[in-house]
Amino acid sequence: MKLSEVMKERMALSFEVFPPKTDKGMENLPGTLAHLCEFKPDYISCTYGAGGTNVGKNMEVCKMIQAEGTVPVTHFTCIGNTREGIKEQLQDYLDNGVDHMLALRGDLPFGWTGTGGDFGYATDLVKFVREEFGDRFEIAVAGSPEGHIACRSLDADISYLKQKQDNGADYIMTQLCWDMEQFKRWLDAIRTAGVTMPVDVGIMPILDQAATINMALSRNACVMDRELCEIISRNWIFPNPFDKEPFDAAVEEKKASFKEAGIEYTIRQIDKYRALGVNGIHLYALNKWKDVTEILNRSGIKTMV
């Protein structure tokens, strides 16, 4: 059964991992995946570097996911990719049994003003994959509840999401969103616009101050709600959480306190999304199975089976 069909029947659970940059990280990843798969996820997605910089490792990770008995979903971007290059890469995925993908424009590498490839937008990539491969791939696409930072308006962003659906996309993986009221408005708006695809909600565990702020502001312009800002402020590491050698004498205590409060915040966010009846919860595992296990066990979303 397709993942999009699973999501229409029940709420799905899935994780996102990334290809480690070091050999040690790659050696440890199978163990991480094994622990994550104790929760019987419906799929695990794997990120894909700009211009295919880690495409070899991406394929290796997808094979690890298969070996653990679940569905790998590869991210795939427009960055630096030509039509022929895309055909070759996607055929290679199919030849290796990977037939699920997240079609993305991709974040532009530093200094780039365009994708440097044949396609400028994910809408074009979705259309091309459908024309070249028919139904051989199940295609997920990104959704931005607050609007993509590069898009001129939220209305325009929603219209492009509808275009992705019209071009053959199967379901939506959302960008992280901490503003629950905005998420509700967006969900109503996309349904009004005729977007019927299942919505799989991306959730980043709140574990580290610097990583949280970086994720919100470096690429995505995400609103950090009052509750999250209070957690950051109460545990602020002086002079700032990005300093490699902070002068704050309580740095370790604050890191631990922030992490505990962040885990509780993440659990409450999961509760809110579940209460809305979303089609899936997609946890950015950050290649950290212990933290994800704690979140899942304490949230009651799914116990080990």
Give the 3-state DSSP-derived string for 146-171, with helices as H, strands as E and coil as C. CCCCCCCCHHHHHHHHHHHHHCCCCE
Closest CA relative to residue 204, chosen from 297, 110, 270, 272: 270
Three-point CA angle 40, 46, 50, nearest 5°: 170
Q: How do residues 202-233 score in pLDDT, each as one tens digit? A: 999 999 999 999 999 987 899 999 999 999 99
Distance from C-alpha of 233 to C-alpha of 181, rounded to nearest angstrom:
22
Percent with pLDDT over 90 in the chain:
87
A 10 A CB-CB count for 188 gives 10
Q: How do residues 19-49 score in pLDDT, each as one tens digit? A: 998 999 999 999 999 999 999 999 999 998 6
Distance from C-alpha of 187 to C-alpha of 115, rounded to nearest angstrom:
29
| Annotation says 38 is catalytic | no
Residue 1: predicted pLDDT = 79
Residue 110: predicted pLDDT = 77
Average pLDDT, the chain: 94
pTM here is: 0.94
Cβ-proximal residues to 231 (8 Å cutoff; 6+ apart), any chain: 206, 258, 261, 262, 265
Residue that the structure tokens 């304490």 belong to = 298
20 prior amide bond cis, ω within 30 = no
Residue 143: φ, ψ to 5°: -130, 140
Cβ-proximal residues to 203 (8 Å cutoff; 6+ apart), any chain: 176, 266, 269, 270, 273, 281, 282, 283, 284
Q: Helices marked H in the chain — which ranges?
A: 3-9, 23-36, 55-67, 83-95, 122-133, 154-166, 180-192, 209-217, 226-234, 251-276, 289-299
Residue 126 · residue 168 · CB < 8 Å: yes
Q: Which position among 16, 60, 181, 227 bears the catalytic label?
A: 16
Distance from C-alpha of 231 to C-alpha of 4, rounded to nearest angstrom:
35
Three-point CA angle 201, 204, 210, nearest 5°: 150
Tokens of 269: 């966010």
Collapsed DSSP state (helix, strand, coil) of residue 16: strand
Residue 48: predicted pLDDT = 82
Residue 305: predicted pLDDT = 47
Distance from C-alpha of 79 to C-alpha of 81, rounded to nearest angstrom:
6
Residue 189 pLDDT exceeds 50: yes
Q: Residue range 180-204: average pLDDT?
A: 98
Cβ-proximal residues to 99 (8 Å cutoff; 6+ apart), any chain: 93, 136, 137, 138
Distance from C-alpha of 197 to C-alpha of 86, rounded to nearest angstrom:
25
Residue 20 · residue 28 · CB < 8 Å: yes
Residue 303: predicted pLDDT = 63
Residue 148 pLDDT exceeds 50: yes
Residue 82 · residue 52 · CB < 8 Å: no
